[in-house]
Amino acid sequence: MSPPTRTAMDDEGSAGELLAALMASVSNPIVRVTRAGIVTGWNTAAEQVFGYSAPEVIGQPATVLDAPGTDHGILRAMRDLESAAPQTVYATHQVRKGGQVFDSRLTLCPVQDGAGQISEVLVVFQDPQAVHTTQPEGPIDSHRLAHHRLRALTRVSASLTFDQPMEATLDALAAGVVEVTQAVACSVVLIDEEQELYRIVGTSGLPPDYASAAEESYRAGANLSSIESYRTLQPVRRTASRYIAYDPLQTRLSGIIQGAGWDTLVSLPLVYRNRALGAVTICFPIGVEPDEQELAFLLVVADQAAVAVQTARLFAEQQGKAALEERQRLARELHDSVSQALFGIGLGARTARTLLDRDPLKAIEPLDFVITLAEAGLTEMRALIFELRPDALLTEGLVRLLEQQAAALRTRHNLEVETDFGPEPMLPLVIKEMLFRIAQEAIHNITKHARASHVSLSLHSNSQGTVLIVSDDGIGFDPLQPYPGHLGLHSMRERAETHGASTTLTSAFGAGTRLHVQVPPR
């Protein structure tokens, strides 16, 4: 089988590149537009139908493709975007570059971002030549198939978030393959032969125990289609009745798939940066063979799966590093504060015990010292516990946690801390956590770099939103020059922007530092 050309995905594996690759694999004319109706891309079929090259039309209003004086084109469909039923077909009048008006039909495929909001729209046209041979209310098979596939893949793109396990994402991807192709089952497997890893992480339509049987066959040394595709970085097509049923290393697997109703297997490699991560295997019913267009579509799916796997791995790796850094930081805090307080308490208690026998009145001073250290140690432990408990924001509130941070600054670093907190802000928990983590990072920078004697913490909400201010009277710095704390500043800015907030940093040598975080009204 001659493999179709592999879709080239960029290093980030962006949803935009995925959509461009998917559009290229579909024979229907497709125009990609923003919610405001500006063209951002289109495929070769659209270029051939409308006569424009990409540079001529990208950046232009999509209405340039609508026939003059008509209200039956892209503009009308975009107005109905929120209320129209999925796959609504619009009879339209379009215009080619030379001015020729022609009849067509279109549907809209909304593209959602990770938050479930429509970020852009794919306008899928029926082949103009087919309009004259198709009844207006009749089925438009290729048109609807293109729309259906685009919609399924954009749903998968939107599901690539960090709030669900990789297995759930790949299960959704496998289900999407079964939904929009002639396949009846699909599996996604991660492979690393150096580490002897073969693990099926996403499935749809497979018999029970299929995953464990396939993994058992791999351990026995069977030459599975997924293994061959992984090794060669090429699509592999096999017939189950020929390659599995008579392989003694796949006896259990053969027994499980008998009667499943499928026979043709197509395995495609999951490739990221020219490195194989695994394979996706698609199972077709007896008598059905995928054509080249369907294989091109499945290659896009394989690329999407590779991006999902790599994204999940990188995120897990970063989480591991962050957890290690947090453990190391807490160990330092415990050593520098609580352990030293406990040591002082023990020393003071022994001194007081000795003085009680000799001069009880002199025991009062070391006992007062013990009480002071115990109170300071308790404050430190409460602050550290608050940092370790994400639910503390829910049970204690943001203001309470900031008060604990201020108390820890006073006892741990002997700083003068001024606080100005209004009532507990009415904000979602994720926004409160964002503000707390930014304040925490700012305080860390102050204690590590600022050499300050006075710190000010402020939190207030009004009709303009919520404002967090952290300032100090330290040595300051030039925000435009390299500085040890700049990595933390970048992290704070990214954290704020992720939730729609803005940060303003003011500092100069000898003039201290002021961080202003603005959360818009919710």
d(CA 105, CA 107): 7
Q: In what order do the strands lie in the sheet with 185-192?
A: 197-204, 185-192, 275-285, 262-272, 236-239
What is the C-alpha separation between 302 and 270, in angstroms, rounded? 6
Task: Give a yes or no: residue 59 inside a domain.
Answer: yes
**What are the residues whose beta carbons fall under 8 Å from the beta carbon of 285, sequence distance 6 or more?**
182, 184, 261, 262, 263
Higher model confidence: residue 368 or residue 329? 368
Residue 487 sits in a domain whose CATH number is 3.30.565.10
Amino acid symbol at 78: M
Q: 424: pLDDT confidence band, cut at 50, 70 and 90?
A: very high
Residue type at 282? I
Rounded CA-CA distance 71/299 in Å is 38
| DSSP secondary structure code for residue 273 in this structure | T
Phi–psi pair at 111, nearest 5 degrees: -110, 120
Separation between Cα atoms, residue 359 and residue 345, nearest integer Å: 20
Decide if 135 is inside a domain: yes
Cα–Cα separations (whole angstroms), residue 201 to 165, 212, 410, 519: 10, 11, 50, 39
Cβ atoms of 183 and 283 within 8 Å: the answer is yes
- The per-residue pLDDT for range 270-279, each reduced to its tens digit, is 988 788 899 9
Within 13 Å and on the Cβ side, how many CA atoms surround 221?
1
Residue-number span of the structural domain to which 67 is assigned = 1-158
Q: How many structural domains are present in the chain?
A: 2
Alpha-carbon dihedral sign for residues 187, 193, 199, 202: negative
Residues 385-406: pLDDT tens digits? 655 555 667 778 899 889 988 8
pLDDT score for 79: 77
Alpha carbons 39 and 60: distance in angstroms, whole number: 6
Cα(181)–Cα(257) distance, integer angstroms = 20
The CA-CA-CA angle for residues 444, 449, 454, to 5°, reads 75
Which amino acid does the sequence have at 358? Answer: R
- The structure tokens 């975009």 sit at 78
Q: Which residue's entry shows tokens 């018999």?
A: 207
Residue 261 lies in a domain: no
CA angle 232, 5, 265 (to 5 degrees): 55
Residues 122 and 106: their CA atoms lie apart, in Å, by 10
Bigger pLDDT: 216 vs 291: 216
Q: Which two tokens stand for residue 217?
A: 């066959």
CA gyration radius, the chain: 31
CATH number at residue 87: 3.30.450.20
- The residue-averaged pLDDT of 195-222 equals 89
Of 135, 158, 181, the last residue of a domain is 158
- In 3D space, the residue among 172, 181, 283 whose CA is nearest the CA of residue 226 turns out to be 283
> What gap in Å lies between CA 25 and CA 19, rounded to an integer?
10
| Structure confidence at residue 225 as a pLDDT band (50, 70, 90) | very high
- DSSP code, position 85: P
Strand-pairing partners, residue 188, are 202, 280
Contact 79, 52 (CB under 8 A): no
Q: Is the predicted pLDDT of residue 163 greater than 70, yes or no?
A: no
> Final residue of a domain: which of 158, 184, 209?
158
Amino acid identity of 398? L
Round to whole Å and give the CA distance between 318 and 494.
15
* Contact in structure between 440 and 392 (CB atoms under 8 Å): no
Kindly report the number of other CB atoms within 10 A of residue 322's CB atom.
10
Q: Which long-range contacts (CB under 8 A, 24 or more apart) does 381-388 make?
A: 381/338, 382/407, 383/407, 383/408, 384/330, 384/333, 384/334, 384/338, 387/330, 387/440, 388/330
Q: Decide if pLDDT at 330 tops 70.
A: no
Q: What is the pLDDT of residues 426-436, one digit of tens each?
A: 988 889 988 98
Would you tell me how many other CB atoms lie within 10 Å of the CB of residue 98? 7
- Concatenated DSSP letters of 15-74: HHHHHHHHHHT-SS-EEEEETT-BEEEE-HHHHHHH---HHHHTTSBGGGGBPTT-SSSH
Q: Flag whether pLDDT at 195 surpasses 90.
A: no
Give the residue carrying structure tokens 């500043």.
Answer: 489
Q: What is the pLDDT of residue 10?
A: 35
Residue 448, pLDDT score: 80
- Checking if the pLDDT of 517 tops 70, the result is yes
List of E strands, 364-453: 416-421
H/E stretch holding 434 reads: helix 429-445
Task: Compute the distance between CA of residue 302 and CA of residue 214 in angstroms, rounded to an integer.
Answer: 19
Distance (Å, whole) CA 354 – CA 359 = 9
Q: In this structure, are residues 176 and 156 in contact, taking their beta carbons and an 8 Å threshold?
A: yes
pTM confidence score: 0.46
For residue 205, being part of any structural domain is answered with no
Q: How many CB atoms lie within 10 A of CB 510?
A: 9
Mean pLDDT along residues 116-136: 61
Return d(Cα 40, Cα 58) in angstroms, integer. 5
pLDDT tens track for 135-158: 333 334 555 555 555 655 555 555
Query: Where among 158, 185, 207 does a domain terminate?
Result: 158
Name the percent of the chain lying above pLDDT 90.
17
Q: What dihedral do alpha carbons 101, 107, 109, 110 form, nearest 10°?
A: 80
List, in sequence order, every residue forming a beta bridge with 209; answer none if it has no partner: none
Among 374, 431, 349, which residue's Cα sits nearest to residue 397? 431
Residue 466 lies in a domain: yes
- pLDDT of 161 above 50: no
